[in-house]
Amino acid sequence: MRVDLERALDRGLAALIRAQKADHWEGEVVWCPMLAAQYALMCHITGTPISAERKRRLRLNFERSQLQGSGLWGLHDHSEPYLFATTLVYVAARTLGVGADDPLLQPARAFFRREGGVGAIPSWGKFWLSMLNLYEWEGLNPVPPEAWILPRVVPLHPSNFYCHTRLIYMAMAVIYGRKFQAPRTAWVDGLRAELYPGQTYREIRFRALRSALREQDTYAPPSRALRAIYRAAQAAERVHIPALRRRTMNSLLDQIRWELRTTDHTCISPVSGILNLLALWLWDHRDPDFVRGIEQFEGWIWEDDEDGVRVAGARSSSWDTAFVLQALSRVPISQQSDTVRDVATRGAHFLEREQITTTFEGYRDAFRVDPLGGYCFAGKWHGWPVSDCTAEAITGLVRTADRGHPGYQGPAREVMERGVRFILQCQNRDGGFGTYEAEKSRIGLEWMNPAEMFSDSMTDLSHIECTASCIVALSAIRARVPELSSSALDRRIERAARWLLEQQRSDGSWPGAWGIHFTYGTMFGIRGLRAAGHSANDPAIRRAARFLLERQRKDGGWGEHPSTPLTGVYTPHSESQVVQTSWALMGLLYADEPDAPALYRAASFLARAQNETGEWPKQDMAGVFFHTALLDYVLYRSYFPVWALAEYQSRRQRIDPPRPRQGASISHDDDAHLATLSFREVQNPAV
């Protein structure tokens, strides 16, 4: 079968160029219907109107996200049914006017009957139901505001928590301090009967349900120590001082307002953002920050008539643009065009403008690191820079400049200096890099994780991907501006590389944290070590390459099942995945893998999987966080295949193989010479 790799790359480039939005790229980051449900519930509680059209589209999203076979809802398409997600969607649909006997909700009602009601819902679900007057606060483990006035030196102070977790529980503490419940109405009474079938609500012993957790919803059950903390908090709740609680909650409300004002009233994520808006509304229904927050929440929403209303798990313009620029920088000169150079130049100018160039007053009081010099996953308006977003953005700028585009001369020195300063703030004591900040507590805190559905969510741990990205950026900056190099910076890079080596598993792989899972982590592990100066002959690099090669499928692709982050054991997928194949091919190319036929089969798979439009089909979600939550980064299937094909074509041309005549395809026979050529013979360009 003939495969024209050059044509596949050209078509992929054309599709990627069409996807540019004026001067940047951004694809939707799709999570589960939990967020859309919480948006609808927040609007119901606060009396925020939802148009008839949006109600229709919310229902459409609930229909489209039902799990096949069960008609229920989970944390992603491959999820088992979750009582948590199903209950929130059910109640949200009822607030939108969907009847209890509607076919959309009948499977959920049968599910509630089988479960004996929703009392074993995880604690986040108990929290939402308590606000809606569908559960009692006495049945919830306390979320005391007073935890925030512990001395900061106490390791258990919430300021030491991972930033997403601490912001969620900050808002929860304010709401819990008020123990707000929506008014009881006939509609509420009807919902109570639907959620607790066969039971009389007033006879339910909610205190006995505090520790009730449905096993299938629970990934990280409360530890014995956390249960002891809960018991102590329950005792303290009975004797708390009202005046102290009020002062504490007022202080937390000031923190919530600061969070809104430094994020363009969007907050770090819609999860904490919705809770922040509820916390402000409880104190003042007309609070200006609440009103502005409702307006700005629209930025999280994607909607259409195909999949309805979705609330994005994140906004990704800086992240996507940084990766696209790096993909474009690897396109062989022979396939560069004025259009490619123009879109790359516009993207680079956009990205350089997105660096945070000011220090936020009050960041220390908000338990933050100085955001100066950082890049956010979204844009500078978001206000929450991340280590690897900063690293990939600067790498994208440097690579674009290295390509010699006349319209972009490269990032200014101060851009790189500020970037280095921010990145180094995120290096942990173990040498690896966290996401938003370095780990704060010297003792591990995962044992007190209160979010039973997720894991590794208590501290900003070192991650393979973040560490590798930071090594790549720091090395690129060091090469571009030699005067920024120093022995101190060299030691930082060496420590990070040592940490990567320590994390490699015996089979040669690295586990990912933000992508599926060993394929993603191994690509980054190789990339990081090569950027740190390790040769392709390093035993760690060869073990990693062997791990990838051993998992290549007969069709040339790779496929790792989304259950792998849950089990920690590589599980093959039933079919090859385009995005994962791109990662694996890139990893092998970074490793200067000499098995040219294997590389060709991988590139050919990507070419064969491409649509005539130059795009690649939607497959399973490739992103993940906290082990259990899968994400669909929509643009991953646009730029990672282009990047992999560009990397492959660029390195082949450096070997200068015979080229087919104009318009001819490359076949296995035409390309047989590749089997005798070693990609290790090519000097590895900076990764």
Q: 500, 464 in Cβ contact below 8 A?
A: yes
Structure tokens at 534: 């390790």
How is 578-624 classified by DSSP, letter by letter? HHHHHHHHHHHHHTT---HHHHHHHHHHHHHH--TTS-----S--EE
Candidates 570, 632, 571, 580; CA nearest to 605 is 580
Which residues neighbour 567 within 8 Å (Cβ) at sequence distance 6 or greater? none
Distances (CA, A) of 687 to 323, 446, 492, 533: 13, 34, 18, 10
Quote the CA–CA distance of 430 and 496 in Å, as a whole number. 8
Quote the CA–CA distance of 602 and 516 in Å, as a whole number. 18
Active site residue 287: no
Q: Kindly name the residue from 10, 217, 388, 460 that is annotated as catalytic.
A: 388
Q: Which amino acid is at 214?
A: R
User: What length does the chain have?
Assistant: 687
Structure tokens at 494: 């060496």
Structure tokens at 500: 């990567």
Structure tokens at 484: 């920024």
Quote the CA–CA distance of 423 and 437 in Å, as a whole number. 9
The backbone torsions φ and ψ at residue 267, rounded to the nearest 5 degrees and listed phi first, read 70, 170
Quote the CA–CA distance of 660 and 666 in Å, as a whole number. 7
Q: Which secondary structure element, helix H or strand E, spans residue 560, and what is its range? A: strand 558-560
Partners of residue 304 on adjacent β-strands: 308
Quote the CA–CA distance of 146 and 322 in Å, as a whole number. 42
Question: Catalytic residue positions?
Answer: 388
